[in-house]
Structure 1
Amino acid sequence: MRSEFEKLFQGRIDPWNYSSSYEQTKYERTLALIPDGMKTALEIGCAEGHFTVQLAPRVRTLTACDIADTALERAARRCEALPHVRFIRLDVASDPIPGQLDLIVCSEMLYYLGSVGLLGQVAKKIAHALNRNGYLVMAHMNLLVDDPDRPGFDFQLPFGGRVIGDVFQGIPILRLVKEVRTPLYRIQLFQRISLLQRWLGDRKSESEIIVLNEQSTNLEPAVATHVHWVP
Structure 2
Amino acid sequence: MTVSMSYFDSLYANSTDPWDYRHRWYEARKRDLTLASLPHRRYARGYEPGCSTGELSRRLAERCDQLLVSDGNATAVATASARLADQSHVEVRHLLLPEEWPSGTFDLIVISEIGYYLGAVDLDALLESARRALLPGGVLLGCHWRHPIDGCVLTGDEVHERLAALPGLHRLSHLEETDFALTLWSSDPTSVARREQLL
Sort the TM-score into its range (normalised by shorter chain). 0.7 to 0.9
May I ask how many residue pairs the two structures share in their alignment? Answer: 186
Equivalent position of 2:164 in the other structure: 169
Q: For 1:184, which of 173, 179, 193 is the aligned residue?
A: 179
TM alignment of 1:1-231, pairs within 5 A: 1-18=4-21, 19-34=23-38, 35-114=40-119, 116-143=120-147, 153=148, 155-192=150-187
Q: Which shifted more, 60-69 or 98-107?
A: 98-107
Q: Deviations over 1:86-107 (max 9, x none)?
A: 1111122211333310101110
Equivalent residues of 2:16, 2:75 under 8 A apart = no
Q: Deviations over 1:48-80 (max 9, x none)?
A: 111111111111011110001111111111111
Q: Which amino acid aligns with 2:130?
A: I
Hey, what's the Cα distance between the residues in 1 that align with 2:85 and 2:14?
Answer: 23
Q: Which amino acid aligns with 2:122?
A: L
Q: TM-score, normalised by structure 1?
A: 0.75
SS in 2 for 1:95: coil
Which of structures 1 and 2 has the larger relative contact order (alpha carbons within 8 angstroms, sep 6+)?
Answer: 2
- Displacement of 1:136 in angstroms is 1.0
Hey, what's the Cα distance between the residues in 2 that align with 1:56 and 1:154?
Answer: 29
Give the ranges of 4+ consecutive aligned residues of structure 1 lying more than 4 Å apart after TM superposition. none
Hey, what's the Cα distance between the residues in 2 that align with 1:50 and 1:169?
Answer: 26
Hey, what's the Cα distance between the residues in 2 that align with 1:170 and 1:154?
Answer: 23
Hey, what's the Cα distance between the residues in 2 that align with 1:68 and 1:39?
Answer: 27
Hey, what's the Cα distance between the residues in 1 that align with 2:95 and 2:107?
Answer: 19
Hey, what's the Cα distance between the residues in 2 that align with 1:107 and 1:93?
Answer: 15
Hey, what's the Cα distance between the residues in 1 that align with 2:54 and 2:122?
Answer: 26
SS in 2 for 1:47: coil
Q: Deviations over 1:124-176 (max 9, x none)?
A: 11111111111111110113xxxxxxxxx454421222111111111112221
Equivalent residues of 2:72, 2:95 under 8 A apart = yes
Unaligned runs of 5+ in 2: 192-199
Give identity over the alignment, percent. 27
Hey, what's the Cα distance between the residues in 1 that align with 2:101 and 2:26?
Answer: 32
Q: Which amino acid aligns with 2:183?
A: Q
Q: Deviations over 1:20-42 (max 9, x none)?
A: 00111111111111121211011
Q: CA RMSD in A?
A: 1.9
Hey, what's the Cα distance between the residues in 2 that align with 1:49 and 1:130?
Answer: 22
Equivalent residues of 1:33, 1:137 under 8 A apart = no
Structure number with larger C-alpha Rg: 1
SS in 2 for 1:71: helix
Hey, what's the Cα distance between the residues in 1 that align with 2:103 and 2:174?
Answer: 25
SS in 2 for 1:189: strand
